[in-house]
Amino acid sequence: MTKYIHAAKFFMPHVTESGGYLQITSDGKFGEYFPETIRPDGDIIEYPDMWVTPGLVDTHIHGLLGHDVMDNDWAGIDAMSRNLVKAGVTSWLPTTLTGSFSQLKEVCATIAQHAGEESGAKIQGIYFEGPYFTTKHKGAQNPKYFKNPSLAEFSEWQSAANGLIKKIAIAPEREDSVAFTRQVVSKGTVVALGHSDATFEQAKACVNAGASMFTHTFNGMSPLSHRAPGMVGAAMYLQGVTDELICDGHHVRPEVATTLVRLVGPEHVALITDCMRAGMMPDGDYKLGELPVYVKDGMARLKEGNSLAGSVLQLKDALINLLAWGAATPEEAVKMATVTPATSCHIEQQCGSILPGRPADYLVLDAKLGLHATYLDGQLAYRAGTQDESK
């Protein structure tokens, strides 16, 4: 049965509509939008003081609720999917860590075998974070697996993934990185640059070869200085690239996050969480891949060296943070968590916008961007204040 959502605002692709009615078709798709002056016939769901936005798209997330993509356990990945709707996420890319060739291949095969069976947020592909990194800015990646890029290896992983690898991050200073970038991009996979001590010139060479993203900008990369722009300088200066950004207030200071948004614009900033298995879990001891981690005061840190080790951020909270910092308008914050990340990974035809014929994956937010409800295919998947004990 066709129904209509009546709300105070609708965040459409090119304009924010005040009031009106959004059609949800009987097969769970977005239909037409009607202005406030035209009340359609049909079942109307009232959210008169709320805002309707596309569902959020997390294109860089490793774990949640004690599960990690590298556990290679479909039940755990499905539990992540099921609970991501509580963070406002309706589409995501399960994200790997550095690991052995065989381990990564097995993870690819597991996700490929089951993708489409997930019971919550939709798997739109896989993000390979590594293993083609360098040691100086290794972060929480295990350097014992670092090596030079190999098209033969990547092709085997992509075959095992049934083409689901949408993005791979590499360090531009690795041998053959430019040739690898050119070849991988020509086959439709996005190349991101990160965990790297590359010079500005090395990063630029990879961007000229087709790399189009920077992995968690400012974190795990050579910094900007006035005579050595480094990776950060490349992320801020080069045009036509998208910069991932973790807005938990720990990875990047609010002033710096605000500066990046102002400089490159929300169409070039993709909000991510980089969340690890302690997301939605209490403080304590955990592991990220093979490395011991402790979580305290909203931060995950390696026990050895005390480096930040991913985050425990929920993407819905990144929106609230940006608004509180004065870094973005509500429309800009939503864009950076929906259409920008979707477009950056070439999945914008599946998610990130309210458009006729697209799956009706959407959120109901208040005027402070607080999450009240998440819908998948037009059906209520989560309502704030309710408890789902299944993990």
Helix (H, G, I), strand (E, B) or coil at 107: helix
Helix (H, G, I), strand (E, B) or coil at 360: coil
Under 8 Å between Cβ of 345 and 89 = no
The tokens describing 152, both together, are 């033969």
Residue 268 is classified by DSSP as G
Peptide bond into 13 cis (omega under 30): no
- The DSSP-derived string for 112-170 is HHHTT--SSSEE--EEEEEEE--STT-TTS-GGG-----HHHHHHHHHHTTT-EEEEEE
Q: Check if 58 is active-site.
A: no
Under 8 Å between Cβ of 300 and 292 = no
Q: Which residue type occupies 217? A: T
Give the β-pairing of 43-54 and 67-68.
unpaired
Q: Whose structure tokens read 């996700």? A: 111
Helix (H, G, I), strand (E, B) or coil at 194: coil
Please give the radius of gyration of the chain, using alpha carbons only, rounded to the nearest integer.
20
d(CA 263, CA 348) in angstroms, rounded, equals 24
In 3D space, the residue among 210, 112, 209 whose CA is nearest the CA of residue 156 turns out to be 112
- List, in sequence order, every residue forming a beta bridge with 91; answer none if it has no partner: 57, 122
Under 8 Å between Cβ of 194 and 215 = yes
Give the β-pairing of 284-288 and 291-296.
antiparallel
Given 197, 243, 274, 317, which residue is catalytic? 274
Question: Would you tell me the crossing angle of helices 230-237 and 254-264 to the nearest 10 degrees?
Answer: 40
Which sequence positions are flagged as catalytic?
274
